[in-house]
Each structure stands twice: as C-alpha cells, then as structure tokens.
Structure 1
Amino acid sequence: MRVDLTNIFVALFLTILGYYYGLSNGGFSVEDLLPVSNLIVSFCALVIATKALSTWKNQFQHQEQYKSLVSAESCFKIYCAFEDKVKVECLKARQKQGVDFDLPMDMIELRNDKKRDYQKSWGELKIHCRGFVNKNSFLAPDNVGREYLEAIQELHLDTYKPHECSFNKYHEFISKKGEKTFHYCRSRLG
C-alpha cells in the first residue's frame, strides 16, 4: 500500500507543479488547461485502476482461502470417519485372530489414501491460510494420524478394555474440535 500512496503523492505534486509553471510562463488560456486536465484525469484513472486491482486480488485470495478450508475440512471428516472404520475392522480381527491380529492390506491402503488426500488438502491450506495452519497444528495430518495409530495399537494389548479405550476419547475429541475449528474459520471468511 505504501507504493500506491507514494505514486499518488508524486502525481499530485507534479500536477500542481506543472499548473503553476504554466501560470508563471505568461498568459493563461483555456488551451493551457487541457494538458493539466488530461493529467488530472490520468491520475484519477490510475487511482481507480489501483483500487480495482487491489479489490480483485483480495476477492481472489478470499475465494482461494475458503475453497482450501472447505476441501481440508471435507478430507479431515472423511479421514476421521475412515479411522473409525479401521477400528471396527481391528476389533473384528481381534475377535477372530486374538491380540496378534493383522489388518487386511486393502484396508491399510484405503486408510493411507484417505490420509494422503488429507495431507494434500492440508498442503493447499498451508499456502492459502498459513495462520490457520500455524494456530491449529493439532489438526495436521501427521499429528492426527499419529494419535490414531497410538490408539489403534492399544487393541493389541491383553489389557484392552473397550470402555477405557483411548481411541474413542481421541476420536470424539478430534472430530468435535476439528469440526468446530474449521467451522469457526469458515464463518469468519464467509
């Protein structure tokens, strides 16, 4: 914004200087006003064009921020929902195979795909909403994934109790907190 104000003051100064220089060189006629009025009109057009460009850039930036937030929120919800499905599959596998169960490969691949989609949308969010990303690092895909993985690993323990499972607590916490955080930020933009 500083460069724009500098341009405005320089143009205004040159306009006034030119006007007084023209007056001091002799007679004053209507034909002498034409170049000065052209300069003033050009100056006004410059100010209007600068303001229009600035407004357009702000609208474009706002639109990109909103789109990236919506995309990240959608991928976040899908990822969290899929982690819940993974937990259900782990419980089924635990009942069949005991504590040394293995999750089916297709389920692992789908989980990784969901996480990759979330990471991609988070990367776009880093570009368009740096403040949101820095302030809400607990929603970063690696942080969320690490917490889910630790909670899923509890299912391999002999001491596992469904009512004391940290997965349910974390899933409820991150789902609600994430939804509120995304919603709050979107409402401030929208």
Structure 2
Amino acid sequence: MYAVLSVTDKTGIVELGAGLRDLGALVVATRGTAELLVAAGVPAIVVGDLSGVPELMGGRVRAFHPSIFGGLLYRRGHPADEADAEAYGIPRIDVLVCNFTDLAAGGAPGAATDSVDVGGPAMVRAAAKNHAHVLPVVDPADYAEVLAALAAADGRVAATDPAWRRALAAKAFDRTAAYDRSIHRVLAQPADGA
C-alpha cells in the first residue's frame, strides 16, 4: 500500500505519516512534505522516486505521471486495469492526502496565477473519483478517523465503510470546487494598468 502526501497545511501530517507507516504504508510525498516527515523520523520518499521522474520546471511538474495517476485511478480487481498496472509497474496508491490554500484575493493576478496548484487538485479529483479503492483525504480534521478506520480494516481501504469513503470523496470535490472559485476571484480582478 502506498500513501501519497502533498500538503500545504502541514497540521498533523507527521502523526498521520507515522500512523500510515505503522499500518504498513509506504509513504510518498512532495519534497517539502517529505523533508518534514524525514526530519521527524518518519521514512518517506519523494514523488519522483516513485515515478522515476524528478520534479521539473522549478517544481511546477511533480506528480503528472502515469505511475501516480494510474495508481490513483486503477480499479482493483478490474482485469484490464490490473493488466495495465502489472505491465507498466503502476503502484497501488490507497491513500491520497492533499490540501491547498485559497489564493489571496488581494494579490496581483499575475503573481497569483504562478501560485495556482494544478497537480494537487488533479490528484484529489482522481482519488475522489476512485473512492471505492482510494481514500481522498483533504482535511487534517479527518486524519484520526482515517487512521482508526484503516486500523479497523487491517489497512484495506475496500473494507472501510463505503458511505464514509463517499463522504470523503464529496468533501474532496467540494474542496477542489472552492479552490477553483478562489482562482476565479483572483483572475476576475482587473490587472494592474488595465
């Protein structure tokens, strides 16, 4: 089981990472999150170590790779998906923990555009779409419940409550929709000199 962690709000992430490791997960994280985890004694690798491609373009391209999105989207037990996962070495990502901060409405549209998180919301959408097999976790307030549910299910996502997984997916899509609205608010402002 892989758990991918990519968070702006790092509240509780060390404890969550340690708990996921205790449940047998291999923790994969974006660079800043991985550095925090490792400094706290929680073994973690960076996303590029899993995908085989380092962060590119100053960190603008991190997770866009079939090993990440395939791991989030493939349906366990689906013959064609299982064959693709086997053929291309796509890992089974069972947990995605990802959050991002609304853009500051007072910033300059050009600077805000450069701060737009593209990969995080895309990973959240992928995990939420496949919530039958992947836990999409976007809120630090849910970390303790995630660990408890996985512990009760012996680390098997499919053995957790389907209604709970659906609620996590609904929250995830709500969070990405709010993020998109924050981007719209910033870009809808008149540009300097306009």
- Structure-1-length-normalised TM-score: 0.29
Q: Which has the larger radius of gyration?
A: 1
> Which has the larger share of helix?
1
- Structure-2-length-normalised TM-score: 0.28
> Which has the larger share of strand?
2
